[in-house]
Amino acid sequence: MNGKPDLDRVWLGVAAQVWHRPPGRGERALAVLLRSPGLARALVSTPSLLLPWLLASVTTLAAGASASLATGTALVPLLAPVVAGAGIAYAYGPGVDPAYELTRTMPVGDRMVLLVRVPAVFGTDALLGLAASAASAHAAALTFGWLVPMAAVSALALAVATVARSANTGAAAGLTAWCLTVVGARAATGSTDAAVARPALLVPYALLAVVCAAVVLIATATPSAPKRGWS
Protein backbone atom coordinates (compact mmCIF):
# COMPACT_ATOMS: atom_id res chain seq x y z
CA MET A 1 0.00 0.00 0.00
CA ASN A 2 1.41 3.40 -1.11
CA GLY A 3 4.81 1.79 -1.59
CA LYS A 4 5.24 1.03 2.10
CA PRO A 5 6.87 -2.34 2.91
CA ASP A 6 5.00 -4.95 4.84
CA LEU A 7 6.81 -4.37 8.14
CA ASP A 8 5.12 -7.30 9.83
CA ARG A 9 6.39 -9.68 7.18
CA VAL A 10 9.87 -8.14 7.33
CA TRP A 11 9.98 -8.47 11.11
CA LEU A 12 8.85 -12.07 11.04
CA GLY A 13 11.65 -12.78 8.58
CA VAL A 14 14.23 -11.19 10.89
CA ALA A 15 12.82 -13.05 13.90
CA ALA A 16 12.98 -16.35 12.04
CA GLN A 17 16.65 -15.80 11.22
CA VAL A 18 17.53 -14.96 14.84
CA TRP A 19 15.54 -17.85 16.29
CA HIS A 20 17.27 -20.14 13.84
CA ARG A 21 20.40 -20.15 16.07
CA PRO A 22 21.05 -23.83 16.87
CA PRO A 23 20.13 -24.66 20.50
CA GLY A 24 22.73 -26.04 22.86
CA ARG A 25 22.40 -29.19 24.94
CA GLY A 26 20.90 -27.36 27.88
CA GLU A 27 18.32 -25.64 25.72
CA ARG A 28 17.38 -28.91 24.04
CA ALA A 29 16.89 -30.52 27.45
CA LEU A 30 14.70 -27.61 28.54
CA ALA A 31 12.70 -27.89 25.33
CA VAL A 32 11.91 -31.50 26.18
CA LEU A 33 11.08 -30.64 29.78
CA LEU A 34 8.89 -27.66 28.89
CA ARG A 35 7.53 -29.30 25.73
CA SER A 36 8.20 -26.07 23.85
CA PRO A 37 11.38 -24.99 22.02
CA GLY A 38 10.10 -21.40 22.12
CA LEU A 39 9.74 -21.39 25.90
CA ALA A 40 13.16 -23.00 26.24
CA ARG A 41 14.70 -20.21 24.14
CA ALA A 42 12.83 -17.60 26.19
CA LEU A 43 14.15 -19.14 29.41
CA VAL A 44 17.81 -19.34 28.40
CA SER A 45 17.66 -15.73 27.18
CA THR A 46 16.31 -14.36 30.49
CA PRO A 47 18.50 -11.30 31.26
CA SER A 48 18.79 -12.06 34.99
CA LEU A 49 19.92 -15.63 34.29
CA LEU A 50 22.76 -14.65 31.95
CA LEU A 51 26.33 -14.91 33.22
CA PRO A 52 27.04 -11.16 33.74
CA TRP A 53 23.91 -10.77 35.89
CA LEU A 54 24.65 -13.93 37.88
CA LEU A 55 28.21 -12.75 38.54
CA ALA A 56 26.88 -9.40 39.76
CA SER A 57 24.42 -11.18 42.08
CA VAL A 58 27.12 -13.46 43.45
CA THR A 59 29.44 -10.50 44.01
CA THR A 60 26.75 -8.53 45.85
CA LEU A 61 25.81 -11.40 48.16
CA ALA A 62 29.45 -12.36 48.73
CA ALA A 63 30.20 -8.78 49.74
CA GLY A 64 27.27 -8.92 52.15
CA ALA A 65 28.53 -12.18 53.65
CA SER A 66 32.03 -10.74 54.09
CA ALA A 67 30.64 -7.60 55.71
CA SER A 68 28.52 -9.75 58.02
CA LEU A 69 31.60 -11.62 59.22
CA ALA A 70 33.49 -8.38 59.73
CA THR A 71 30.77 -6.39 61.50
CA GLY A 72 28.60 -9.04 63.15
CA THR A 73 25.53 -7.65 61.34
CA ALA A 74 23.49 -10.00 59.16
CA LEU A 75 23.47 -8.20 55.82
CA VAL A 76 22.76 -11.10 53.46
CA PRO A 77 19.08 -11.36 54.51
CA LEU A 78 18.71 -7.65 53.74
CA LEU A 79 20.45 -7.88 50.37
CA ALA A 80 18.79 -11.07 49.10
CA PRO A 81 15.31 -9.50 48.58
CA VAL A 82 16.90 -6.65 46.61
CA VAL A 83 18.84 -9.02 44.36
CA ALA A 84 15.78 -11.17 43.75
CA GLY A 85 13.46 -8.20 43.23
CA ALA A 86 15.70 -6.73 40.54
CA GLY A 87 16.16 -10.12 38.89
CA ILE A 88 12.41 -10.82 38.81
CA ALA A 89 11.65 -7.34 37.43
CA TYR A 90 14.09 -7.93 34.59
CA ALA A 91 12.44 -11.26 33.84
CA TYR A 92 9.58 -9.28 32.29
CA GLY A 93 11.53 -7.91 29.40
CA PRO A 94 10.43 -4.73 27.57
CA GLY A 95 13.38 -2.52 26.73
CA VAL A 96 16.02 -4.68 28.42
CA ASP A 97 15.49 -8.21 27.15
CA PRO A 98 17.25 -8.95 23.84
CA ALA A 99 14.70 -11.69 23.17
CA TYR A 100 11.60 -9.72 24.15
CA GLU A 101 10.66 -8.66 20.64
CA LEU A 102 11.21 -12.22 19.48
CA THR A 103 8.93 -13.61 22.18
CA ARG A 104 6.17 -11.43 20.73
CA THR A 105 6.19 -13.70 17.68
CA MET A 106 5.72 -16.84 19.77
CA PRO A 107 2.31 -18.54 19.93
CA VAL A 108 2.43 -18.42 23.77
CA GLY A 109 1.63 -15.27 25.69
CA ASP A 110 3.47 -13.13 28.23
CA ARG A 111 1.94 -15.08 31.10
CA MET A 112 3.42 -18.39 30.00
CA VAL A 113 6.85 -16.84 29.49
CA LEU A 114 6.68 -15.31 32.98
CA LEU A 115 5.48 -18.57 34.53
CA VAL A 116 8.63 -20.20 33.19
CA ARG A 117 11.08 -17.40 33.88
CA VAL A 118 9.99 -16.21 37.32
CA PRO A 119 10.39 -19.52 39.22
CA ALA A 120 13.78 -20.05 37.56
CA VAL A 121 15.03 -16.60 38.57
CA PHE A 122 13.57 -16.79 42.08
CA GLY A 123 14.96 -20.27 42.66
CA THR A 124 18.42 -19.26 41.45
CA ASP A 125 18.51 -16.16 43.66
CA ALA A 126 17.19 -18.14 46.64
CA LEU A 127 20.00 -20.68 46.25
CA LEU A 128 22.58 -17.91 45.98
CA GLY A 129 21.16 -16.28 49.10
CA LEU A 130 21.18 -19.54 51.01
CA ALA A 131 24.80 -20.14 50.05
CA ALA A 132 25.79 -16.64 51.14
CA SER A 133 23.88 -17.00 54.42
CA ALA A 134 25.54 -20.33 55.14
CA ALA A 135 28.93 -18.64 54.74
CA SER A 136 28.09 -16.21 57.53
CA ALA A 137 27.58 -17.54 61.06
CA HIS A 138 25.74 -14.34 62.00
CA ALA A 139 23.16 -14.95 59.26
CA ALA A 140 22.60 -18.63 60.03
CA ALA A 141 19.57 -17.98 62.25
CA LEU A 142 17.95 -15.94 59.48
CA THR A 143 18.73 -18.34 56.64
CA PHE A 144 15.05 -18.94 55.86
CA GLY A 145 13.56 -15.84 57.47
CA TRP A 146 14.16 -13.67 54.42
CA LEU A 147 12.49 -15.99 51.91
CA VAL A 148 8.99 -14.60 52.55
CA PRO A 149 9.99 -10.90 52.29
CA MET A 150 12.08 -11.90 49.28
CA ALA A 151 8.92 -13.28 47.65
CA ALA A 152 7.00 -10.12 48.54
CA VAL A 153 9.62 -7.76 47.10
CA SER A 154 9.94 -9.92 43.97
CA ALA A 155 6.17 -9.99 43.44
CA LEU A 156 5.91 -6.22 43.91
CA ALA A 157 8.75 -5.55 41.47
CA LEU A 158 7.22 -7.87 38.87
CA ALA A 159 3.74 -6.38 39.29
CA VAL A 160 5.03 -2.84 38.77
CA ALA A 161 7.22 -3.92 35.84
CA THR A 162 4.28 -5.70 34.20
CA VAL A 163 1.79 -2.87 34.64
CA ALA A 164 4.26 -0.11 33.74
CA ARG A 165 5.82 -2.22 30.98
CA SER A 166 9.23 -1.20 32.31
CA ALA A 167 11.73 -3.46 34.08
CA ASN A 168 13.61 -0.42 35.37
CA THR A 169 10.46 0.94 37.02
CA GLY A 170 9.71 -2.44 38.59
CA ALA A 171 13.22 -2.82 39.99
CA ALA A 172 13.14 0.72 41.37
CA ALA A 173 9.77 0.10 43.03
CA GLY A 174 10.98 -3.10 44.68
CA LEU A 175 14.21 -1.48 45.90
CA THR A 176 12.41 1.60 47.24
CA ALA A 177 9.74 -0.42 49.05
CA TRP A 178 12.32 -2.68 50.68
CA CYS A 179 14.56 0.20 51.76
CA LEU A 180 11.58 1.95 53.37
CA THR A 181 10.60 -1.31 55.10
CA VAL A 182 14.10 -1.87 56.49
CA VAL A 183 14.44 1.74 57.67
CA GLY A 184 10.98 1.69 59.22
CA ALA A 185 11.59 -1.61 61.01
CA ARG A 186 14.91 -0.37 62.36
CA ALA A 187 13.34 2.87 63.58
CA ALA A 188 10.59 0.94 65.36
CA THR A 189 12.76 -1.74 66.98
CA GLY A 190 16.34 -0.49 66.87
CA SER A 191 17.38 -3.73 65.14
CA THR A 192 18.94 -3.74 61.68
CA ASP A 193 17.51 -7.13 60.74
CA ALA A 194 14.03 -6.50 62.15
CA ALA A 195 12.53 -6.43 58.65
CA VAL A 196 13.33 -10.14 58.25
CA ALA A 197 13.45 -11.29 61.86
CA ARG A 198 10.00 -10.21 63.11
CA PRO A 199 7.41 -13.02 62.70
CA ALA A 200 4.60 -10.44 62.82
CA LEU A 201 5.66 -9.20 59.39
CA LEU A 202 5.35 -12.57 57.67
CA VAL A 203 1.58 -12.30 57.14
CA PRO A 204 1.74 -8.80 55.55
CA TYR A 205 4.60 -9.98 53.33
CA ALA A 206 2.62 -13.04 52.24
CA LEU A 207 -0.51 -10.98 51.54
CA LEU A 208 1.49 -8.50 49.48
CA ALA A 209 3.01 -11.32 47.46
CA VAL A 210 -0.42 -12.85 46.76
CA VAL A 211 -1.97 -9.51 45.75
CA CYS A 212 0.94 -8.63 43.46
CA ALA A 213 0.86 -12.10 41.89
CA ALA A 214 -2.85 -11.58 41.17
CA VAL A 215 -2.05 -8.23 39.53
CA VAL A 216 0.54 -9.90 37.30
CA LEU A 217 -1.89 -12.65 36.27
CA ILE A 218 -4.61 -10.11 35.48
CA ALA A 219 -2.22 -7.86 33.56
CA THR A 220 -1.03 -10.75 31.41
CA ALA A 221 -4.44 -12.37 30.93
CA THR A 222 -5.08 -10.68 27.59
CA PRO A 223 -2.23 -10.76 25.06
CA SER A 224 -1.18 -7.26 24.13
CA ALA A 225 -0.65 -6.15 20.58
CA PRO A 226 2.77 -7.08 19.14
CA LYS A 227 5.35 -4.31 19.37
CA ARG A 228 7.94 -3.81 16.68
CA GLY A 229 10.29 -1.42 18.43
CA TRP A 230 12.02 -1.25 21.77
CA SER A 231 9.94 0.03 24.69
Q: What is the DSSP string of 71-84?
A: HS---HHHHHHHHH
Q: Is there a domain that residue 32 lies in? A: no
Q: Is there a domain that residue 198 lies in? A: yes
117/40 Cα distance (integer angstroms): 10
Q: Is there a domain that residue 40 lies in? A: no
Q: Is there a domain that residue 116 lies in? A: yes
Q: Is there a domain that residue 211 lies in? A: yes
6/48 Cα distance (integer angstroms): 34
Q: Is there a domain that residue 92 lies in? A: yes
pLDDT in tens, the chain (231 residues): 444 455 555 545 555 555 556 777 777 888 888 887 777 877 887 888 888 889 999 998 888 888 877 777 778 888 889 999 999 988 876 666 655 655 566 666 667 888 888 899 999 988 888 888 777 655 545 556 778 899 999 999 999 988 888 888 999 999 999 999 999 988 888 887 788 878 888 899 999 999 999 999 888 775 544 443 333
pLDDT value at residue 47 = 81
Question: Range of 201's domain?
Answer: 47-219
The answer to whether 123 and 48 have CB atoms below 8 angstroms apart is no
The total number of structural domains in the chain stands at: 1
Q: Give CA separation, 139 vs 2, 54, 62, in Å.
A: 67, 21, 13
Q: Is there a domain that residue 227 lies in? A: no
Q: Is 35 helix (H, G, I), strand (E, B) or coil?
A: coil
Q: Is there a domain that residue 143 lies in? A: yes
